[in-house]
Amino acid sequence: MARFSEGAGTDQRFDVNLSILFTELPLLERPAAAAAAGFTAVELWWPWIDTATPEQSELDALKKALEDAGTQLVGLNFYAGQLPGPDRGAVSVPGEESDRFRANIDIAADFAASVGCKALNALYGNRVEGVDPAVQDELALENLVLAARAADRVGAILLIETLNKPESPLYPLVSAPAAIEIVDKVNAATGLGNAKFLLDIYHLAMNGEDVSQVIAQYADKTGHVQIADMPGRGAPGTGELPLADLLGELKKAGYDGWVGLEYKAADAAASFEWLPAEDRAAR
């Protein structure tokens, strides 16, 4: 595996996405595995894909696992349907999925507050056959306003994410401007200013966007960053993206937040060779 350029990680704050790495382990064992690899910060998709309203005992068990491992949760998705799987969120999906999302809002926000997590990601949801996109967009804005207010209540930001069209053909936010438009609408509706862009370099590259231009244009509206190499969605150095350079551009543009490692690896522990051990613990 090619190594990240010399010293590239020293000015970044990296976290491990435990919903895509260490998935060979049960959920409650993954924080300790990340810690054993030298990381002190982690993020998660909504861990209970079959329910938006898990038992308090399950929430308590995850909180204990994070604390016992000495890991800080820095990002958490709201309920997003079957993810991994066919779904890409519930925010804009009418009926039961929207109801589940609303039932989840305070549960996710309160859990985030209990572990000091300051970023909550709300995936927009796929277009639904037979439903007017304008109806979905109206519902999405209503739900995102509720989510932004709940996030604000616990001192967190609300993240809006661009995905990529080849892998998520029914997801409408497949460009940076599309996600930024939603960010701006939510902030205008709430007046809180806590909706931010989740800038995922892999998804942007898969969409053929000029990532450097996106960084230059939207770094000030970015609340979280995720990376994977392309093609393949593997670790840095397995593909063709100049990830070290792009992260350097983010830093120069004023972004000093978290960089989530959201890539695929058959052996997660071995996949971190690109990042020197001394650069893995959060500062």
Catalytic residue IDs: 161, 262
Q: Which amino acid is at 241?
A: L
Rounded to whole angstroms, the Cα distance separating 14 from 10 reads 10
Angle, alpha carbons 198-203-207 (nearest 5°): 125
Q: Report the SS3 class of residue 43.
A: strand
Distances (CA, A) of 172 to 9, 25, 161, 214: 33, 33, 11, 18
The total of other beta-carbon atoms located within 10 Å of residue 114's CB is 15
- Cβ atoms 100, 79 nearer than 8 A: yes
For 235-274, give one letter per residue: b (16+ CB within 10 A) or e.
Answer: bbbbbebebbebbbbbbeeebebbbbbbbbbeebeebbeb
Rounded to whole angstroms, the Cα distance separating 35 from 33 reads 5
Rounded to whole angstroms, the Cα distance separating 77 from 190 reads 20
3-state secondary structure 199-224: EEHHHHHHCCCCHHHHHHHHHHHEEE
The total of other beta-carbon atoms located within 10 Å of residue 208's CB is 10
- Cβ atoms 238, 207 nearer than 8 A: no
